[in-house]
C-alpha cells in the first residue's frame, strides 16, 4: 500500500518534534508549510500555503502555537482552509494511552505522555513529553499542554488554553477557555476564562491587574 504524503505546519519547535511521533511506515514527509519566507532548512523543504490548495491529496499535521499566540490557534489552523479529513493525529510510540481514551483529530501526543482511563482529548491539541492526563480528565479543542504537566482526574480544561511545563492541576476542577497557566504553577481551584495564572498556589495576574486599574 503506498504511503500517504504529509505536510507539517509550521516549521517550528513543535513541528520538528512531531517528526518523532509520525509513523513513516504510513506517511511520506513532503516537508513543512510556513508563512515566514525567511525560514530556511538544510534538511527539509519549506513551502508556502499554496501547496495545500494545489495538492489536496496531501495530509496535514498543524501544530502552531506558543505562550504568545495560543489564543489564536483556532484562527490560524482554520485559515489553512483545508477539509478536516486531511488532518492526521500523531502519537509517539512511547506514549501510553489507557482504556477508553478519546483523542480528536490533528492532535500531537509526544514521547512519555500518559493518558489514563476515560481521558478525553479534543481536536487540535498538543501534549508535550512526559505529561500525565489522568482518568476522566477533559482537554478542550486547540489547547496546548506543556511538558511534565500533571492533570489530575476529573479536571476539565477549556479550549484554546496554554498549560505551561511543570504545572500541577488538582483533581475535579475546571479551567476556563483561553487561559494561560505559567510554568511550574500549582492550580488548586477553579480558573475562570481568559486568566493568567502563575505561582504556588497560583494566582490570577489578570485579576490583580484589573484591581490596580480600578
We report the CATH number of the domain holding residue 175 as: 2.160.10.10
Residue 182 belongs to some domain of the structure: yes
The pLDDT value recorded for residue 56 is 96
Strand partners, 169: 151, 187
What are 175-205's pLDDT values in tens digits?
Answer: 999 999 999 999 999 999 999 999 999 999 9
Give the C-alpha distances (Å, rounded to integers) separating 166 from 82, 128, 150, 211.
34, 11, 8, 28
The pLDDT value recorded for residue 209 is 47
Instruction: Indicate if the pLDDT at residue 213 is higher than 60.
Output: no
CA within 13 Å, CB half, 202: 28
What are 26-57's pLDDT values in tens digits?
Answer: 999 999 999 999 999 999 999 999 999 999 99
Nearest 5°: phi and psi at 181? -110, 120
Average pLDDT over residues 86-94: 98
The three three-digit cell numbers of residue 4, written as one number: 500517504
Give the domain-ending residue among 28, 51, 86: 86
pTM of the predicted protein model: 0.94
Indicate the pLDDT class of residue 1, thresholds 50, 70 and 90. confident
Q: Is the domain of 20 the same as that of 80?
A: yes
Report the C-alpha gap between 139 and 157 in whole angstroms: 5
Instruction: Please say whether the beta carbons of 109 and 23 come within 8 A.
Output: no
Q: Is the domain of 194 the same as that of 94?
A: yes
The pLDDT value recorded for residue 122 is 98
Instruction: Please say whether the beta carbons of 180 and 192 come within 8 A.
Output: no
Domain hosting 8: range is 4-86
Count of domains in the chain? 2
* CATH number, domain with residue 30: 3.40.50.720
Q: Is the domain of 166 the same as that of 119?
A: yes
Give the domain-ending residue among 71, 86, 101: 86
Q: Is the domain of 164 the same as that of 112?
A: yes
Q: Is the domain of 79 the same as that of 165?
A: no
Instruction: Please say whether the beta carbons of 175 and 186 come within 8 A.
Output: no
**In the chain, which ranges are continuous DSSP H helix?**
13-18, 50-54, 73-78, 205-213
Residue 214 belongs to some domain of the structure: no
Share of the chain above pLDDT 70, in %: 97
Residue 213 belongs to some domain of the structure: no
Instruction: Indicate if the pLDDT at residue 124 is higher than 70.
Output: yes
What are 146-183's pLDDT values in tens digits?
Answer: 999 999 999 999 999 999 999 999 999 999 999 999 99
Amino acid at each position: 500500500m503506498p504511503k500517504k504524503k504529509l505536510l507539517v505546519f509550521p516549521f517550528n519547535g513543535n513541528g520538528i518534534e512531531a517528526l518523532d511521533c509520525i509513523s513513516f511506515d504510513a506517511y511520506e514527509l513532503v516537508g513543512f508549510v510556513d508563512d515566514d519566507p525567511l525560514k530556511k532548512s538544510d534538511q527539509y523543504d519549506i513551502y508556502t500555503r499554496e501547496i495545500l490548495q494545489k495538492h489536496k491529496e496531501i495530509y496535514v499535521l498543524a501544530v502552531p502555537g506558543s505562550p504568545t499566540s495560543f489564543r489564536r490557534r483556532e484562527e490560524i489552523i482554520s485559515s489553512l482552509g483545508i477539509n478536516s479529513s486531511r488532518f492526521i493525529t500523531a502519537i509517539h510510540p512511547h506514549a501510553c494511552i489507557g482504556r477508553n481514551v478519546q483523542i480528536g483529530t490533528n492532535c500531537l501526543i509526544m514521547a512519555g505522555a500518559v493518558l489514563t482511563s476515560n481521558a478525553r482529548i479534543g481536536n487540535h491539541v498538543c501534549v508535550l513529553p512526559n505529561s500525565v492526563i489522568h482518568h476522566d480528565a477533559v482537554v478542550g479543542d486547540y489547547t496546548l499542554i506543556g511538558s511534565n504537566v500533571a492533570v489530575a482526574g476529573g479536571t476539565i480544561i477549556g479550549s484554546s488554553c496554554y498549560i505551561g511545563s511543570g504545572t500541577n492541576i488538582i483533581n475535579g476542577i475546571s479551567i476556563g477557555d483561553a487561559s494561560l497557566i505559567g510554568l511550574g504553577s500549582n492550580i488548586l481551584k477553579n480558573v475562570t476564562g481568559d486568566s493568567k495564572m502563575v505561582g504556588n498556589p497560583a494566582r490570577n495576574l489578570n485579576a490583580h491587574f484589573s484591581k490596580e486599574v480600578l
